[in-house]
Amino acid sequence: KAGVTQTPRYLIKTRGQQVTLSCSPISGHRSVSWYQQTPGQGLQFLFEYFSETQRNKGNFPGRFSGRQFSNSRSEMNVSTLELGDSALYLCASSGGFVAEAFFGQGTRLTVV
Amino acid sequence: QKEVEQDPGPLSVPEGAIVSLNCTYSNSAFQYFMWYRQYSRKGPELLMYTYSSGNKEDGRFTAQVDKSSKYISLFIRDSQPSDSATYLCAMSFVNQAGTALIFGKGTTLSVSS
């Protein structure tokens, strides 16, 4: 069974630009969550999508948005990038059981 | 005060040692407690989870939850160099509306041969 796939693995963007990250969940999983990981703050919850609807949202500014498609694949968008957005962005998929969330390898975003 | 506190370490032990990793939390509503392992440049890997209080064992790993003290632990027996990684605790509510996890900042473990 294939795991969670995130693309691209690495990105370098300039301050002020926008970026879109992609996540393909484990087959059959309908829940996709996004997290930001930084050395200072650790792993922080961004939002969760289930059946194309945002079900939960963390405490991040509106520049961070996402969506989910009918095949459960999800994208995350960050607009007007800031230097502080440099982080590892992780996607997790779940079959519905809160304690079993499986993570992808992440997308390392560097904003210069 | 953060909801979940975890000593970042680093923790260095010799091969074969018993390792104890711990987290404390402040929200008594947490019901699910998870441990993840993260190798450098990789995503977190789910090791095990526990519901409410008690112990759970899986091979060399044992997870303990003490809800009265708001304290959880992960014990690793017969530690191996391949166990060298960052260990993250995570917690969640029994929440019909979703699967948001609250993480500790992680403890870096190094096992030397």
Contact (CB, 8 A) for B51 and B32: yes
| CA distance, residue A14 to nearest chain B CA (Å) | 22
Structure tokens at A31: 């829940």
Tens digits of residue pLDDT in A61-106: 999 999 999 999 999 999 999 999 999 999 999 987 777 899 999 9
Instruction: Return the residue of A nearest to B105 by Cα.
Output: A42
Q: Number of residue pairs across A and B with CB atoms under 8 Å?
A: 73
Tens digits of residue pLDDT in B58-75: 999 999 999 999 999 999
Residue B95: name the closest of A50, A73, A4, A65 by CA: A50
Contact (CB, 8 A) for B110 and B84: yes
